Structure 1
Amino acid sequence: MENELKYETVKHAILNQIHTGELHTGDKLPNEEDYMKLFNVSGITIRKALTELANEGYIVRIKRKGSFVNNPKITENQSHLIALILSAEDYYDSSYMKIIKGAQRMAAEFNYSLIVEWSNENLAIEQASIQKMLDRNVDGFLIYPFDPIKSIDNFKLIEQRNIPYVLVDRYNLNRPCYFAGCNNHDGAVLATRELIRLKHTKIKFAGYHFFLNSEQERYDGYCSAMRHAGLPVNDDNLLTSINYDSLAESILRHDITALFCSNDKLAVKVMKQLHERGIRIPQDVSIMGFDDWDNSRDLPVALSTVKQVFEEIGINAANLLINAILGKIQGGNTKVLSGVSLVMRDSTSENPYS
């Protein structure tokens, strides 16, 4: 009975600090050792008090980081569930698995569970997935949309419920949002500068889904690096619909010596198509990708590319969402970009015609 009274004394003392405003949302609580000295009780007593406060939603306990005050306005109806809606073209793409892994890892640190819903490229299926998760009373959404412009009405379903959501990898440039992705612009600058360093001046940019802001940002980075090097940039530099016969002829005429593809998927397709037309890589043309797929190094000609860390993007997305759920950030217009790096392999070489 005495131990029960001790842990309740600790619990009510912390609750009083929260209710009176002495402790605010997001504040970190003192560590267990400090509370043991303050209340002259054992560590077991402190842990029991903190566990009950966490179970009742007043605080959030994060492994290796400590305990933090939760938002009292939202704790009553919290489900501690987060939905990840993936509108994906290829369910077997390892990059999606890495995003999921990162998001799950971060969610678990905040005692949240992640529910994954696949909706391919169909807006109606995406909408049904969102409604299904709304019916489960999830606390927030991570959304990897196929086309964030066309998905606006689906996003409005979430906004009407005043539930936070974070877009992953792609967003609508004209619509404020929480977003987690990679630094597309700077990654493209790195790639283009490397091709220029290899004495390539006739470099084209090949798009895959150019309606996406991620590809447009990569193209902007390519253009920036080209202009900085004093190289011309015009509409002919951008390839959005590739005629591979014409492309092969341009390469054989040395009108194109390097191709920067907006992602590895396109780069792999380009390499295959050119190989079938007798074009040698990198002897006739250098190829650069973006993403660093798991199999990029295992191709017949290993692909040079820009590496983005997909698991880190998942971690950033879940962290951003949970901070929005807890009321630590507001306004719906925060973007977190993960870093990128250059990975040079066999598909690029110095321009032999320079």
Structure 2
Amino acid sequence: MKKSNSIALTLENEILNNMHITGSMLPSVNSLSKRFSVHRNTVNQAMKILAQKDLIQTKNGIGSIIKQRVRNINQEIEKNKTETYCIIADLHKNIYQATMLEIFQQYLFSQNAFSYIIYLDTIRNNFRFVINTLKEKNVTGVFISCGNIEKIALLLHMLKENDMAFTTITCFPGYEKHHCGFSEKGDNRTSEKQVEYLASLGHQKIGFIAGTHHDTAVYKRRLEGYLHAVERYAGISEAENLVAIGDFFKSEWIRQAFNLYYEKKITALICFDDTEALQAINIFPLRNILIPENLSIMGFGGYYNDTEIPITTLSVPYEYKSARYLSFMHSLLKGIEYKEEFPAQTNTIKEGVTCKKIISS
């Protein structure tokens, strides 16, 4: 058997056995070539085989995304379901969201409801496809999981324009402006805890950077917490000058990151998530800026164990998030008022190798 076929078969088995979550990214070609000790071209051939089997979708400059697998559910079971829901989600590489979507589907199934997941792809502008699918499936309710306010507003507008009324239209983690879903009140505290941790290591010049998420409500809340905490813990009143945003998939993000280091003289950098933290870890050494000797890096997301570098990161335990969201969904499905039943502060610092203590001279 050719090496490419062997690699494809191994990855296919991993995908079918849920070792790679729907909507998440496969490891990079470089990582896979190291894992299987083969040339990049061999891995690319394996990727083509997986794509032909409709298991992955490869996007230039991004990577290979695990596609949703059609569940092997008997049609009679589907007919017996009393309600049908559609979960509309962002098409991006957030492994956390991918995990939550699978949990939601399992929960809906346990509640005698059937569900579909449709991914929003703004590049291909598939909003019309989403609307047509909702009509065909005759869904009872819609859950919108989207990190972009403009996308949510456009989708809600199109639903209204097409006279599509549902029992439930909501989104999670929630955006107050649309009066749907619930607010992640802990977002402010997440960035506060990051700053508090870095300040305890002696850092005062602490920067904050965000890429493609800078237009989301989550970003605004984390930024608010950061600005409050930097003045409180690090004694910096002009913290706005240490904040940078830029398109993560373009050179703007990299330029902004270097500007924080060279111009603003930061000693630590808080990244919006672990993906951005990994980017920072990779680019700074290219200019002989060592991590963490010259610059401490901190992420958010708690999935650094999937990487070769243990990032110092802020983690929200899956079991807590799952319980919280499922309680929220249950209240919507049953038509009862949702009440916050879980402690707001469950975030924990995961120690990695990307932060160091500053020794005062």
Under a length normalisation based on structure 1, what TM-score does the superposition of the two structures give? 0.66
2:135 aligned with 1:128, yes or no?
Answer: no
- Give the equivalent residue in structure 2 for 1:228: 232
Q: Deviations over 1:155-181 (max 9, x none)?
A: 24556514312312353x432112375
2:201 and 2:358 in contact (8 A); partners too: yes
Q: State the number of aligned residues.
A: 271
2:274 aligned with 1:273, yes or no?
Answer: no
Q: Quote how far apart the aligned CAs of 1:152 are.
A: 1.2
Gaps of 5+ in 1: 1-77
What SS does structure 2 have at the residue aligned with 1:113? strand
1:239–1:353 distance in 2 versus 1, CA, 3 Å: farther
1:353–1:123 distance in 2 versus 1, CA, 3 Å: farther
- Corresponding residue to 1:84 among 84, 87, 94: 87
- Give the equivalent residue in structure 2 for 1:347: 354
What SS does structure 2 have at the residue aligned with 1:149? helix
1:197–1:84 distance in 2 versus 1, CA, 3 Å: same
What SS does structure 2 have at the residue aligned with 1:151? helix
- Give the equivalent residue in structure 2 for 1:39: none
Percent identity of paired positions between Structure 1 and Structure 2: 17
1:307–1:156 distance in 2 versus 1, CA, 3 Å: same
Tell me which amino acid in the other structure corresponds to 1:83: C
Q: Quote how far apart the aligned CAs of 1:116 are.
A: 1.4
Q: Please give the alpha-carbon distance, in whole angstroms, between the structure 2 residues aligned to 1:227 and 1:335.
A: 31
Q: What is the 5 A alignment of 1:131-146?
A: 131-146=132-147
Tell me which amino acid in the other structure corresponds to 2:229: A
1:119 and 1:125 in contact (8 A); partners too: yes
RMSD: 3.3
Q: Please give the alpha-carbon distance, in whole angstroms, between the structure 2 residues aligned to 1:225 and 1:143.
A: 32
Gaps of 5+ in 2: 1-80, 247-251
- Corresponding residue to 2:179 among 173, 176, 180: 176
2:314 aligned with 1:306, yes or no?
Answer: yes
1:114–1:313 distance in 2 versus 1, CA, 3 Å: farther
- Give the equivalent residue in structure 2 for 1:51: none
Q: Quote how far apart the aligned CAs of 1:259 are.
A: 0.2
Q: Deviations over 1:7-47 (max 9, x none)?
A: xxxxxxxxxxxxxxxxxxxxxxxxxxxxxxxxxxxxxxxxx
Q: Please give the alpha-carbon distance, in whole angstroms, between the structure 2 residues aligned to 1:351 and 1:345.
A: 16
Q: Deviations over 1:229-277 (max 9, x none)?
A: 2322343121113564675476468811000011111111111111212
Q: What is the 5 A alignment of 1:1-354?
A: 79-90=82-93, 93-122=94-123, 124-158=125-159, 160-169=164-173, 171=175, 173-179=176-182, 183-208=186-211, 209-229=213-233, 230-241=235-246, 244=254, 247-248=257-258, 251=261, 255-293=265-303, 296-297=304-305, 299-310=307-318, 312-313=320-321, 316-329=324-337, 339-352=346-359
Q: Quote how far apart the aligned CAs of 1:207 are.
A: 1.2
Q: Please give the alpha-carbon distance, in whole angstroms, between the structure 1 residues aligned to 2:84 and 2:193.
A: 39
Q: Please give the alpha-carbon distance, in whole angstroms, between the structure 1 residues aligned to 2:109 and 2:83.
A: 10
1:145–1:286 distance in 2 versus 1, CA, 3 Å: same
Larger mean CA deviation between 211-220 and 133-142 belongs to 133-142
Tell me which amino acid in the other structure corresponds to 1:341: T
| Greater Rg over alpha carbons, structure | 1
Q: Please give the alpha-carbon distance, in whole angstroms, between the structure 1 residues aligned to 2:243 and 2:166.
A: 40
Q: Which structure is richer in relative contact order (CA contacts within 8 A, separation 6 or more)?
A: 1
1:130–1:250 distance in 2 versus 1, CA, 3 Å: closer
Q: Please give the alpha-carbon distance, in whole angstroms, between the structure 1 residues aligned to 2:142 and 2:105.
A: 13
Larger mean CA deviation between 101-110 and 273-282 belongs to 101-110
2:231 and 2:239 in contact (8 A); partners too: no
1:198 and 1:350 in contact (8 A); partners too: yes
Q: Quote how far apart the aligned CAs of 1:286 are.
A: 0.5
1:252 and 1:284 in contact (8 A); partners too: no
1:262 and 1:289 in contact (8 A); partners too: yes
What SS does structure 2 have at the residue aligned with 1:150? helix
Q: Please give the alpha-carbon distance, in whole angstroms, between the structure 1 residues aligned to 2:335 and 2:143.
A: 17
1:298–1:215 distance in 2 versus 1, CA, 3 Å: same
Q: Quote how far apart the aligned CAs of 1:146 are.
A: 4.3
Moved over 6 A (4+): 333-338
Q: Please give the alpha-carbon distance, in whole angstroms, between the structure 2 residues aligned to 1:246 and 1:155.
A: 34
1:102 and 1:312 in contact (8 A); partners too: no
1:145 and 1:167 in contact (8 A); partners too: yes
1:188–1:258 distance in 2 versus 1, CA, 3 Å: same
1:309 and 1:340 in contact (8 A); partners too: yes
2:209 and 2:269 in contact (8 A); partners too: yes
